Amino acid sequence: MEATSSVWNGLNSGVVLSLIAVLWTVVWQNLQRLQLQTLVGRHMSRHARRLAALVDPYLSVTIAEHEGGRMKRSEAFEEVKAYLSASCARDVRHLRAEGAKDADKLVLSMVDGEEVADVASEDGGGVTVWWWAYSTPPPRDGGGGGYYGWGGGRAQENRRYYRLFFLERHRDLVINTYLPRVRRRGRAVMVQNRQRKLFTNISTHSWSDADGLVRSAWSHVVFEHPKTFDTLAMDPAKKKEILDDLTMFKNGKEYYARVGKAWKRGYLLYGPPGTGKSAMIAAMANYLDYDIYDIELTSVHSNTDLRKLFIETTSKSIIVIEDIDCSLDLTGARKKKEAAADDDKKDGPPKPPDMKKDTSSKVTLSGLLNFIDGLWSACGGERLIVFTTNHVKKLDPALIRRGRMDKHIEMSYCCFEAFKFLAKTYLEVDSHGLFPAVKKLLSEVDMTPADVAENLTPKSLEDNADSCLAALVKELEKLKEDKANGRNGQGGGDDDDDDDEEDNAQAAEKDK
């Protein structure tokens, strides 16, 4: 009997231990699901923040110079910078100076480590906030993505920030009232101090990258071109048509939103050299009060770099690619190179690759088309995209179709109306005895407005309207004689295809 009781007790003990083990396993698994360590850590962090708030009752808002890594410059940063410029000049000891719209003035901003106080309430009710400027060095990892991947030539620059400090009890006032007011006033100051700029892309080596690739970044100068539509020699009716189109575009924000189109418009300026294509772009910029981004495609390493450059452009700008027919393989020459590559493959095994870094442009027609009207083209708004070319027939039709290049503007040889405008501008004459002769000759030969203007420009103190007009008639008669004798004069129209191919071949050889 006693033996039986001992066995039974032993069994009961084993069952109890097994139950305990099972229950512990279940409980432990559930505790793991609850992530006990994380739960305890959150509670400790919460109490630590409350304790820190007793010591430091200030909250902060950080505004970085760039958004999305280095993809886009922050408008909020520039607005805060402009807003603080007046306070900086009054209260800050160390300042950074930049040029202003007025040549005699400077726009001032804080250097790193400076702090300035401001009043957050409209009535000046004693709600004080503090702005602090600082920067951090770029990361050193040199990875292919993130900061270096989008930074290009500016990857070595410090990241700049403004940080706003305020008491926690003023949170609603600062976020809902003060910061929107800062942005509104900052925009107004930016308009007052704005200097229009002419940008160009430069190639730089990003040595932080393992492959040492060439990157592209924007560099700029102040845009001060004097050309306006008032001084542009062109048929008056054609000039009015262009002005009306530009005005409709500038005021078309609601229209573009209603029809579901990106707020941009493409212009193709084509015609012989010297017909005023570059002058037209300058007049457009002055009329619209836009910046100009002049892209040199041969300096853009890849489609990715082209996209980065486009993202970094601002609204109210004209993006220009001059002589698009000479920039890349966007003409019939592209097919010839493809055929030549096929011939090389037939000749034998491929040659060993050149070990030098490839700094040539790999921008493709597809990449350029995406730049014009792809998804990325809708980033930002109020942009004109302008192409210029001397040989419009050589461009790929996909590049210049309507919807990409919406308006085609032929910049032709000088007509009599344009000549009268130039005579009035250069010689201050509305009529002259030589006008009929000039009219007749301009109908028989071609001369560019640039050459007409050069002949009408006085070369010495003795020159006057009579001598300048006589010189123009003499030059036109010479062109007429050359045309009659079968010699190619200055304005003999478009060159034939053979001459164009030879010119392109020579230019390509020079590039090599």
The helix-helix angle for 2-34 and 36-55 (nearest 10°) equals: 50
Instruction: Evaluate if residue 315 carries a pLDDT over 80.
Output: yes
In this structure, of 46-60, 193-207, 413-427, the range with the lowest mean pLDDT score is 46-60
Give the highest mean pLDDT range of 54-63, 130-139, 254-263.
254-263
Closest CA to 371 of 335, 321, 323, 333: 321
Torsion sign across C-alpha atoms 249, 254, 256, 259 = negative
For residue 485, what pLDDT is reported?
Answer: 82
For residue 163, what pLDDT is reported?
Answer: 93
What DSSP character marks residue 156? Answer: T
What is the chain's mean pLDDT, rounded? 77
pLDDT band (50, 70, 90) for residue 332: very low
Between CA 179 and CA 162 the distance in angstroms is 13
Between CA 136 and CA 134 the distance in angstroms is 7
Backbone angles phi, psi at 73, to 5 degrees: -70, 135
What DSSP character marks residue 143? Answer: -
- Our CA angle for 500, 502, 504, nearest 5°, is 70
For residue 210, what pLDDT is reported?
Answer: 42
90-97, long-range: CB < 8 A, 24+ apart: 91/116, 91/117, 92/116
Which is more confident, 428 or 209?
Answer: 428
How confident is the model over 460-501, as pLDDT tens digits?
Answer: 888 888 999 999 999 999 998 888 887 665 544 444 444 444
In this structure, of 2-11, 82-91, 334-343, 408-417, the range with the lowest mean pLDDT score is 334-343
First CA to last CA distance, the chain: 109
Mean pLDDT of 322-334: 66
For residue 6, what pLDDT is reported?
Answer: 61
Residue pair 299/152 in contact (Cβ under 8 Å)? The answer is no
Between CA 83 and CA 245 the distance in angstroms is 35
Structure tokens at 251: 């005021």
How confident is the model over 80-106, as pLDDT tens digits?
Answer: 988 888 776 677 778 888 776 666 777
| 330 half-sphere exposure, CB direction, 13 A CA radius | 29
For residue 144, what pLDDT is reported?
Answer: 41
Structure tokens at 394: 């050589």
Return the amino acid letter for 71. M
| CB environment 169-196: b (16+ within 10 A), e (fewer) | ebeebbeeebbeebbeebeebbeebebb
Between CA 467 and CA 297 the distance in angstroms is 44
| CB environment 110-124: b (16+ within 10 A), e (fewer) | beeebebebebeeee
Backbone angles phi, psi at 348, to 5 degrees: 155, -170
For residue 194, what pLDDT is reported?
Answer: 80
- Helix H or strand E segment including 317: strand 317-321
Mean pLDDT of 213-219: 72
Torsion sign across C-alpha atoms 44, 46, 50, 55 = positive
Number of Cβ atoms within 10 Å of the Cβ of 353: 7
Give the highest mean pLDDT range of 34-43, 80-89, 296-305.
296-305
pLDDT band (50, 70, 90) for residue 127: confident
Between CA 442 and CA 269 the distance in angstroms is 22
Instruction: Evaluate if residue 181 carries a pLDDT over 50.
Output: yes
pLDDT band (50, 70, 90) for residue 388: very high
Residue pair 267/386 in contact (Cβ under 8 Å)? The answer is yes
For residue 242, what pLDDT is reported?
Answer: 95
Between CA 154 and CA 167 the distance in angstroms is 36
Helix (H), strand (E), coil (C) string for 332-345: CHHHHHHHHHHHHH
Torsion sign across C-alpha atoms 136, 138, 139, 140 = negative
Which is more confident, 121 or 221?
Answer: 221
pLDDT band (50, 70, 90) for residue 507: very low
pLDDT band (50, 70, 90) for residue 115: confident
Q: Which residue has the tokens 């200097």?
A: 195
Instruction: Evaluate if residue 281 carries a pLDDT over 80.
Output: yes
Between CA 328 and CA 106 the distance in angstroms is 41
Instruction: Evaluate if residue 38 carries a pLDDT over 50.
Output: yes
Q: Where are the alpha helices (DSSP H) in 428-492?
A: 435-442, 449-456, 465-484
254-262, long-range: CB < 8 A, 24+ apart: 256/381, 262/373, 262/377, 262/378, 262/381
What's the distance, CA 170 to chain centroid?
38
Which is more confident, 376 or 349?
Answer: 376
